[in-house]
Amino acid sequence: MATGRRTELTVPGSGSCPATVVPLEHPAGSHLVVARSGPDALSVDEVGLLHAMARVSSMTLRMLSLLDEERALRTESQRQSAENARLLATLTEHQELLERLAVEQAALRRVATLVAKGERPEVIFALVAQEIARISNVEHGFVVRFEDDATLTIVAKSGSPEMPMPVGSRWPLDGDSVAARVYRTGRPAHVDDYRDVTGTIAAAMPSVAFSSVGAPIVIGERLWGAATATSVPQPGASAADAEGRVAQFADLIAIAISNADARAQLTASRARVVAAADEARRRLERNLHDGIQQGLVSLALGLREAESMAPADPPELPVVISRLVDGLSGVMDELREISRGLHPAMLSEGGLEFALRSLARRSAVPATLTVRFTRRLPQRVEVPAYYVVSEALTNVVKHARASGVDIDVDATNGVVRVSVRDDGVGGADIRRGSGLIGLVDRVEAAGGAFTISSPPGKGTAVLATFVLGDEVGADVVSP
């Protein structure tokens, strides 16, 4: 069949008929064929009309093809949009999870940092209660301690005041509250709501719709208490996830309490050792003073009497006796210094100010003493304070090459501060001096703190601080 030319087309039932073939622009390679019965072919006008029909048919077929493609593209676009929405939702969920984990880890790091620094447990309790409420997105966070009489004490709380459970209050562990469940089982627990929960704590809940999670605080093998979170249930919240978060904080609390107990036991042990050593020194000093020293004094007096009664012949005898008396006097002076180093009797008899004035007078480096308190301090403060000044003055004489030293003792607002500063060469290092290390042990055994600042070429400053309790009351006054 030739395109654009007349041809013959065999039509079933009609036989061979004249036909005209016109190519279509779309789809490519297609044709429009028109055949008529009879011997006459299409006229020129009819062929022109056929070409016009071919163009219309091509345009129609192209439009239909475009519509099919557009429907296919729309379907694919809708599929991709749905897939993108699903991926976006997944990414958003993962991002929220990562952000929540980052917030939780930051909160745990804050608490862990305080634990590592040895902060007081009550400070850590308060921070844990705040962090539990914040990261769990709940209204109330608690740290409670279980007592021996089946009650609990609120040791820390964070949240709105509508919860009538203030810090320091005690509550019976009856019923089936989350704290009671932890107390009975020693394991994490949760309460979905308090509609059917009995007990004193359950009755105090502002709403029966509240839910709670809790985790035990275990010290060694002892159930010490619990960390809990209470709030109106949050959409999509998981009790298991909340229990896990609270359990992590409970573990940190357990570490903090264990550390505090260990430090308290160590401090008490050191205090007992220091007290025993001080008492032994006190007894030895008293024995030296009342026994050996008095015996030497009597012996010296006897020799003086013998010297006065000695005959003139031989003439060397009075000289020998006098020499013996002088030697005994020197021995007594040395013994007095030794006994003073063991335990200063003047501290026991006259108090800290009297003993420090004696130290300042005897110092080989000119020393000025400023004292701002009017009455005796407790012995647990007086003894380490005296030794801080004594050791500091010894170090100034031996190492500082200083022209002067300032001693300042102040008791204000329940805190005693003992400061010794010199203008020497500095460079003192607490790690290289057994005397300074001994001072640290003595001061910390008394519940105090010891610091030293000694930059090279800028002198040395030693500071010891002691917190006074009710043992002194009005005895310590401000300057």
Q: Which pLDDT score is estimated for 372?
A: 92
Asked if the structure places residue 134 within a domain, the reply is yes
- Residues 76, 131: one domain? no
- Residues 170, 215: one domain? yes
- Residues 62, 126: one domain? no
Report phi then psi at 154, rounded to 5: -75, 110
Q: Which pLDDT score is estimated for 83?
A: 87
CA-based angle 163:166:168, to the nearest 5? 155
pLDDT in tens, the chain (479 residues): 344 567 787 878 777 888 888 888 888 888 888 887 777 777 888 888 888 888 888 899 889 988 998 999 998 888 888 888 888 888 777 776 666 667 667 776 777 777 777 777 788 878 878 777 776 666 788 889 999 999 999 988 887 777 788 889 999 999 899 999 999 999 999 888 888 888 999 888 888 888 888 999 998 888 999 988 887 766 555 556 677 778 777 887 878 777 777 766 776 666 676 666 666 666 666 666 556 666 676 777 777 777 677 676 777 777 777 777 777 776 666 666 565 555 566 777 788 998 899 889 989 999 999 999 888 898 889 988 988 998 899 889 988 899 999 999 999 888 999 999 999 999 888 776 656 787 888 888 888 899 999 999 999 999 999 998 765 433 433 33
Query: 374 CB contacts (<8 Å, ≥6 apart)?
Result: 475, 476, 477
Asked if the structure places residue 307 within a domain, the reply is no
pTM, two decimal places: 0.47
- Residues 130, 246: one domain? yes
Asked if the structure places residue 354 within a domain, the reply is yes
Q: Which pLDDT score is estimated for 365?
A: 92
Among candidate residues 223, 245, 62, the one with its CA nearest the CA of residue 145: 223
Asked if the structure places residue 289 within a domain, the reply is no
Domain containing 399 equals 350-475
CATH code (residue 376): 3.30.565.10
- Residues 254, 365: one domain? no
Asked if the structure places residue 63 within a domain, the reply is yes
Cα gap 262→421, rounded to integer Å: 34
- Residues 127, 260: one domain? yes
Asked if the structure places residue 101 within a domain, the reply is no
Q: Which pLDDT score is estimated for 336?
A: 63
- Residues 34, 147: one domain? no
- Residues 257, 145: one domain? yes
- Residues 69, 123: one domain? no
- Residues 51, 127: one domain? no
Q: Which pLDDT score is estimated for 334?
A: 62
- Residues 66, 119: one domain? no
Query: 252 CB contacts (<8 Å, ≥6 apart)?
Result: 108, 111, 112, 115, 124, 128
Q: Which amino acid would we find at residue 330?
A: G
Per DSSP bridges, beta strands 189-191 and 170-172 are: unpaired
Query: Among residues 34, 55, 80, which one ends one of the domains?
Result: 80
Query: 380 CB contacts (<8 Å, ≥6 apart)?
Result: 271, 446, 447
Helix (H/G/I), strand (E/B), else coil: 217: strand
Residue 288, number of CB atoms within 10 A of its CB: 20
Strand ranges of the sheet holding 6-11, from the earlier edge strand across to the other edge: 6-11, 15-23, 31-35
Specify the number of domains making up the chain: 3
Helix (H/G/I), strand (E/B), else coil: 344: coil
Asked if the structure places residue 370 within a domain, the reply is yes
Asked if the structure places residue 270 within a domain, the reply is no
- Residues 72, 194: one domain? no
Query: Among residues 265, 289, 320, which one ends one of the domains?
Result: 265
> Distance between terminal CA atoms of the chain?
127
Query: Among residues 60, 80, 100, which one ends one of the domains?
Result: 80
